[in-house]
Amino acid sequence: MHAETKDAIVIGAGPAGLTASYELAKHGIRSTILEADQLVGGISRTVNYKGYRFDIGGHRFFSKVPLINEVWDEIIDEDMLIRPRLSRIHYRGHFFDYPLQAGNALSGLGLIEACLIGLSYARTKVFPSRQERNFEEWVANRFGYRLYNIFFKTYTEKVWGIPCTEISADWAAQRIKNLSLVEAVRNALLGGSGKTKDGKIITTLIDKFKYPRLGPGMMWECCESRLEAQGNHTLRGRRVERIRHTQGRVECVYARTNEGELEEFSGDQFFSTMPLRELISALDPAPPDEVLRAANSLAYRDYLTVVLMVKRDKVFPDNWIYIHSPEVKMGRIQNYKNWSPEMVPDSTRTSLGLEYFLWDVDDEWNWSKDRLIDLGMKETIALKLIEENEVEDGTVVRMKKAYPIYDQFYKEHLDVIRRYLATITNLQTIGRNGQHRYNNQDHSMLTGIYAARNVVGANYDIWSVNVEQEYHEETVSDEKATGDRLIPQRVEPDIDAEKVAPDAVIRAAFAKMDPFALGVAMGLVFAISLFMATAALLVKGGDVVGPHLSLLGHFFIGYEVTWLGALLGLIEAGIGGFMIGYVGAGLRNWTMSTYTKLLKRRAEMDQSKDLLDKV
């Protein structure tokens, strides 16, 4: 097959398209890349505005795929920085360390709120949601409903525009991974290693990453230059409008230049990173109506960044801040200078990227640049991050179709499209939009590499390349990076209970409780409750302070209604509550285990009787 290959046409100069061309060059195959925009890198580009560089989001270079790390090192090894990660959550005027730090969270939320969070968490451990069908149930089971409402609900709905009750629980499992309130508290109090008690890495706790000196676009600009030196051209400002095919093969594509001229490009092999919706509509002759309907049904979440240039050398220390405060539309703030000091032209200045997640039909999407900058300034000032007189310039960057949406019907639509595209033998679709998958850039690159190798005799299934549910916790080889990275998708209807195995029903009904988790929850509630009650009586004062509460001194050594007694009670009540919760959960688990075995035995006996009746 290699001998028959003449030239390749690659549509799109993002990570997938450029990497495909890079891999083709290693096999001696010449390629031409057609890019609709004036910048390469796709959503991983770096925009330069008056010497200020900024990402479309913020792209950490971290991969468990060895092959991808090798490619990064080949292209710009010396220009890769090792950057510390710092990110926090902003909620109602307070900053919360992310991951959670006990002292920081307590000071930001206050003792009363912390006590209510502990009670909420204890309630979910005693009465958890058994099915965990949606994002809300999954998160609440691990953090309690009160903490879920504070730290998860608002931000998630800002980003995806979908109620949390309609987002799959599987997506939460993939994105939040192994972190829970207990793991966060354990890590905060005991100085944990960033691992769960069973040894898995909590990726939310990873504190370093690689980053190109001049932003992620530097990687793809260097890749483009290397390809150009080998005779593989990247033509910018070429938007593909028509793809002519016949007898199961693409013959050529037609691209419109910025000047309006229509150019024809022929080749032997074709690679597309176009959004599938646009690719299907560009095919000539047109696909069957069923395929067109499926493509037109695919949805995308759009995104824009308002960039502010601020007359201050240090605004905040974070790489980025999640904005959970519901009173502003902004979802996240990037501090590009903290990704790399060379992202700003002047060390006395800072550039901030204010990120807004929108639909292209939203009013804000069509606002003017000045109006969006004004909105960004007002919201950043309201968050008390900057002063009005510190902003000296600003700009806006829009990115349509930044996030492919997984609604409840997308798999059916994608199956229809894939079956049709399989009939076109010399066309492979790669990358995030080329496969309508929420890829990280490393897996977009992997689809490009595999597709390139397919034209020289390999037989990779590029549709199997993606991030598994807990990909970051387990090393994935370049040969086995399979699975389907889960992004917010609407919850499917309830499963018919009659189709569920009896064992599964029993396990779901009598799931084990975590003794340590319940112990921590009970300990927090007991400790904070006693401390608050003692403190309230001391503040109230009187001739005899707390005569009834002081009777607890019979149970807690040294306790009395004094400030010293309050501290002793805090410690002893916490220990006592932990022991009650730990032992209680253990007894409950033993009781349920015994009862489960009894039920299972009865069920087996009933099945045996039924079997004999049928003989």
435 and 447, same domain (yes or no): yes
Distances (CA, A) of 42 to 70, 220, 360, 561: 21, 9, 18, 64
311 and 421, same domain (yes or no): no
414 and 293, same domain (yes or no): yes
Of residues 602 and 394, more confidently modeled: 394
Three-state SS at 394: strand
Closest CA to 373 of 349, 350, 356: 356
How crowded is residue 608: how many other Cβ atoms within 10 Å of its Cβ?
A: 10
Last residue of a domain, one of 376, 405, 434: 405
113 and 253, same domain (yes or no): no
521 and 573, same domain (yes or no): yes
Residue 42 belongs to domain with CATH number: 3.50.50.60
**58 in any annotated domain:** yes
Last residue of a domain, one of 191, 206, 221: 206
Strand ranges (DSSP E) for 233-313? 233-236, 239-246, 249-256, 262-266, 269-272, 283-284, 299-310
Q: Is the peptide bond before 341 cis (omega within 30 degrees of 0)?
A: no
Residue-wise pLDDT for 511-545, tens only, equals 566 777 777 777 878 887 888 788 877 777 765 66
**236 in any annotated domain:** yes
Residue-wise pLDDT for 568-596, tens only, equals 878 888 888 888 888 887 887 788 778 77
**72 in any annotated domain:** yes
**144 in any annotated domain:** yes
**Residue that the structure tokens 């179709």 belong to:** 401
Distance CA 436, CA 18 (A): 18
Arithmetic mean of pLDDT, 83-112? 79
Query: N- to C-terminal Cα distance for the chain?
Result: 60
Arithmetic mean of pLDDT, 133-155? 86
Distance CA 166, CA 184 (A): 26
Listed range (146-155, 221-230, 518-527) with the worst mean pLDDT: 518-527
Report the number of distinct structural domains present in the chain: 4
**473 in any annotated domain:** no
pLDDT band at 215; cut points 50, 70, 90: very high
Strand ranges (DSSP E) for 177-238? 208-212, 233-236
Last residue of a domain, one of 405, 431, 450: 405
Contact between 334 and 353 under an 8 Å Cβ cutoff? The reply is: yes
339 and 396, same domain (yes or no): yes
291 and 413, same domain (yes or no): yes
The pLDDT of residue 274 is above 60: yes
45 and 97, same domain (yes or no): no
389 and 310, same domain (yes or no): yes
Q: Is the peptide bond before 285 cis (omega within 30 degrees of 0)?
A: yes
Residue 306 belongs to domain with CATH number: 3.90.660.20
520 and 440, same domain (yes or no): no
Listed range (62-66, 384-388, 399-403, 535-539) with the worst mean pLDDT: 535-539
**431 in any annotated domain:** yes
Give strand pairing partners of 309: 351, 393
**17 in any annotated domain:** yes
Whole-structure pTM value: 0.73
**224 in any annotated domain:** yes
96 and 201, same domain (yes or no): yes
Contact between 160 and 331 under an 8 Å Cβ cutoff? The reply is: no
How crowded is residue 22: how many other Cβ atoms within 10 Å of its Cβ?
A: 23
Closest CA to 216 of 442, 450, 524, 439: 442
Distance CA 100, CA 182 (A): 10
Domain containing 312: what range?
Answer: 299-405
Give strand pairing partners of 49: 52
Structure tokens at 334: 């990037």
Percent of the chain at pLDDT > 90 equals 48
H or E element in which residue 446 lies: helix 441-454
12 and 58, same domain (yes or no): yes
